Amino acid sequence: MKFLRSFLLFACDSAILLIATLFCLVFSHWFHDNGMGRMLYLAIHLAVMYGCVTVSQLLFRTYSSLWRYAESREYMTLLMAAFCGFFAYEVIARTLMSKVIISFITLTAIGGLWVLGMLLLRFSYRVYRSHVNYRRGDHQIPAAIVGAGAAGLQLLEELRSNQSSKFEVKCFFDDDPAKYHRTIHGIRVQGTIDEAPAQLVLRGIGHVFVAIPSAGEGRRHEVLQALSRLDQVRVSTLPSTMELIDHRPIRGQLREVQIEDLLGRAPVMLDPAPVDAFLEGKVIMVTGGGGSIGSELCRQIVKHDPRKLVIVDIYENNAYDIQQELLYRYDGRLDLAVEIASVRDGERMCQLMEKYHPQVVFHAAAHKHVPLMETSPQEAIRNNVFGTLNVVRAAHKYGVEKFLLISTDKAVNPTSVMGASKRLCEMILQSMKGYSTTDFVAVRFGNVLGSNGSVVPLFKRQIAAGGPVTVTDKRIIRYFMTIPEAAQLVLQAGAQARKNELFVLNMGQPVKILELAENLIRLSGLVPYQDIDIVETGLRPGEKLYEELLIASRDIEQTENSQIYIERQPAITPRELEQKLDLLQKALEEDSPAAIRRALHQVVPTFLEPEEVNRTQGREVELPHQDRHGVAMGG
């Protein structure tokens, strides 16, 4: 079919050239002035001219183009091919052939008519295809495009030409004053982007496409926030940077607006150069490597060319999934080992350290679900606290260069067993200062979007099921970051760390969970409290209204990266830690959740009951204030 189309186009171009030549020769009275006796010379010249322009078209590959997608480059190529073909004929005719049969003026007229005919043929074909496809399609949904630039225009063409498209574009919105109230491809630029929300409601438009990939994150966030407040208007967006270099159709890159687009800050981008120097050529071990954060760590670690990557996880299904993903992606270029093991088994951790001698260990293995750990506190202590202790001791024994702990904002002034257990993990690392040659580092961040058990996937499932969407308390405030951001922060912290430091990310403004739920419902084209209800279920065990990233009484300092801070904490001696762990061990032996909570209050001085904290936080209606560094501070 491809060959047939090219041949038909070639035949049509040849016919147009023949018709243009005969017309110009007749119009210039060539046959009257020369008579039939010179027909042989004319036939020879026409054959040479035809050969020159044909070879030129083939050399410029004009018949390889898909003319339904043609732009200025394809048309310029067509013109250049025609010019070169006629120029080559003119040179040959005046230097190698005995007589000039066709005058320069007549030749120019032939070339002009031929090019005009080819252009009209191709334009007619594009109009015909667009008309046929548009009539075949079921264009029922009125739509608008925010952004009348190159991306918006390409999107318009594909929405019109794609038979599966159900959208009829009614108008554009753009901030370029030169485009206001002008018509582009038959579609009017209705106004500025800021006027879009009011105009969409006025015109009853049910879908809007945001096609401003060159806009900054701040502007994109502002536009998406405004559009997300509209009831019964679905929003789709192009990525924040143009991903068209692989020539995929722009419509294929449209996606539903994700809640990450509305977080109020640009994605955190960290310098990869220090991480390259940190990981390249080294043996890296990741505990909990099959989990949400652990698997993303593995994906990003392999980009920095480690000598070997060792994944340790107790859950074989997750470990198998990330193993197969990496093996498929890197096709033998990655030295990968996967070990099924529990961090609770200290002897097994030592065996693995002795077997692989990792230079860097990322410790991501942990129980993290707050309500579940409230009902099973002994598991949080055994896995999070004593499991971390096992890996730390093994890392110290076998001379690991750097050990990085994945911590959480819930470790700050904790109100849950999980948060208190992670605070104890940080203390374990602190106790190694001056005692071990290994650099022990903790990295603390907020809630991770898209991780197992996070709130956004839950909201999406509830919306897909028709609701209701459940929030535990409408006043809850949380910090959010994406999984890649969390992994980048951990890697960057490892590259910067020197000795027993605690790194914290400036995560911008916190987000109200209620607004998160409302925006996600609107972005699904539904109306909160009308199509999908939002139900308050009450705070879960151990949950507080808002989390803190820093302990307010401690000093912090900014690192070389403006997004990363170091919290300075008082040292804890190995003996002090041993006393704390002895208390916990005795509580475990009692096999009593109450005894474990009492012990946690003794060993973690900042551990408070959630009811006490929430009574104070509940009286605050504003978001937590920010200090001069822009890092939210807790009360």
Average pLDDT over residues 242-270: 51
443-452: burial string, b at 16+ Cβ within 10 Å, e else: bbbbbbbebe
pLDDT category at 369 given cuts 50, 70, 90 is confident
pLDDT category at 4 given cuts 50, 70, 90 is confident
pLDDT category at 623 given cuts 50, 70, 90 is very low
Q: Residue 243: pLDDT above 70?
A: no
Q: Residue 185: pLDDT above 60?
A: yes
pLDDT category at 356 given cuts 50, 70, 90 is very high
Give the model confidence (pLDDT) of 71-99 as tens digits: 677 778 888 888 898 888 888 888 887 66
Give the model confidence (pLDDT) of 278-332 as tens digits: 899 999 999 999 988 899 899 999 988 999 999 999 999 999 999 999 998 887 7
Give the model confidence (pLDDT) of 458-467 as tens digits: 888 888 888 8
Kindly state the tokens that stand for 81.
């091919």
Q: How much is the pLDDT for 633?
A: 34
Q: How much is the pLDDT for 252?
A: 46
Asked if residue 420 lies in contact with residue 426, where contact means CB atoms within 8 angstroms, the answer is no
By mean pLDDT, which of 16-25, 216-225, 375-384, 617-626 is the weakest?
617-626
Name the nearest CA neighbour of 569 among 557, 584, 583, 581.
Answer: 557
Highest mean pLDDT out of 114-123, 310-319, 457-466, 492-501: 310-319
Q: Are strands 308-313 and 234-237 parallel, antiparallel or unpaired?
A: unpaired
Highest mean pLDDT out of 125-129, 582-586, 631-635: 582-586
Q: Which residue has the higher pLDDT, 355 or 109?
A: 355
The topology (CATH level 3) of 272-617 is Rossmann fold (3.40.50)
By mean pLDDT, which of 111-125, 379-393, 421-435, 607-621 is the weakest?
607-621
2-11: burial string, b at 16+ Cβ within 10 Å, e else: eeeeeeebee
By mean pLDDT, which of 289-298, 351-360, 481-490 is the weakest?
481-490
Name the nearest CA neighbour of 27 among 87, 112, 118, 121.
Answer: 112
Query: What distance in Å separates the CA atoms of residue 608 and residue 610, rounded to the nearest whole number?
Result: 6
pLDDT category at 358 given cuts 50, 70, 90 is very high
Q: How far is CA 410 from the centre of its chain?
A: 26
Q: How much is the pLDDT for 259?
A: 55
Q: Where in 233-383 does DSSP place strands (E)? A: 234-237, 255-256, 283-287, 308-313, 336-340, 360-363
pTM score: 0.60
Positive or negative, the CA dihedral 540, 544, 549, 555 is negative
Mean pLDDT of the chain: 80
Query: What distance in Å separates the CA atoms of residue 630 and residue 576, rounded to the nearest whole number?
Result: 34
Give the model confidence (pLDDT) of 154-184 as tens digits: 888 777 766 667 788 889 999 888 888 888 8
Q: Residue 246: pLDDT above 90?
A: no
Q: How much is the pLDDT for 241?
A: 42
Name the nearest CA neighbour of 418 among 467, 348, 366, 471.
Answer: 366
Average pLDDT over residues 530-546: 75
Query: What distance in Å separates the CA atoms of residue 96 and residue 618, rounded to the nearest whole number?
Result: 96
DSSP calls for 392-428: HHHHHHTT-SEEEEEEEGGGSS--SHHHHHHHHHHHH
Average pLDDT over residues 541-563: 59
For residue 482, the cross-strand partners are: 449
Q: How much is the pLDDT for 234?
A: 82
By mean pLDDT, which of 245-249, 355-359, 515-519 is the weakest?
245-249
Q: How much is the pLDDT for 354?
A: 96
| Residues whose CB falls within 8 Å of the CB of residue 434, separated by 6 or more in sequence, listed in order | 571
**CATH (residue range 138-257):** 3.40.50.720
Give the model confidence (pLDDT) of 29-69 as tens digits: 766 666 555 677 778 888 888 888 888 888 888 777 666 65
By mean pLDDT, which of 219-223, 386-390, 539-543 is the weakest?
539-543
Q: How much is the pLDDT for 583?
A: 94
All structural domains of the chain with their residue ranges:
2-133, 138-257, 272-617
Side-chain half-sphere exposure of 478, counting CA atoms within 13 A: 24
Name the nearest CA neighbour of 385 among 603, 606, 569.
Answer: 603
Q: Residue 138: pLDDT above 50?
A: yes
pLDDT category at 225 given cuts 50, 70, 90 is confident
Asked if residue 599 lies in contact with residue 586, where contact means CB atoms within 8 angstroms, the answer is yes
> Which contacts (CB < 8 Å, 24+ apart) does range 457-465 have?
459/516, 459/517, 459/520, 460/520, 462/532, 463/520, 463/521, 463/524, 463/526, 463/532
Q: Residue 215: pLDDT above 80?
A: no
Q: How much is the pLDDT for 576?
A: 92
Average pLDDT over residues 244-272: 53
Q: Residue 605: pLDDT above 60?
A: yes
Kindly state the tokens that stand for 69.
């997608």
Q: Residue 625: pLDDT above 50?
A: no
| Residues whose CB falls within 8 Å of the CB of residue 132, separated by 6 or more in sequence, listed in order | none
Percent of the chain with pLDDT over 70: 78
Q: How much is the pLDDT for 268?
A: 61
pLDDT category at 506 given cuts 50, 70, 90 is low
Q: Residue 119: pLDDT above 90?
A: no
Query: What distance in Å separates the CA atoms of residue 233 and residue 112, rounded to the nearest whole number?
Result: 50
Calculate the alpha carbon distances from 235 to 95, 163, 173, 230, 356 in Å: 65, 21, 14, 10, 50
| Residues whose CB falls within 8 Å of the CB of residue 253, separated by 6 or more in sequence, listed in order | 238, 239, 243, 244
Average pLDDT over residues 423-432: 92
Q: Which residue has the higher pLDDT, 479 or 553?
A: 479
pLDDT category at 115 given cuts 50, 70, 90 is confident
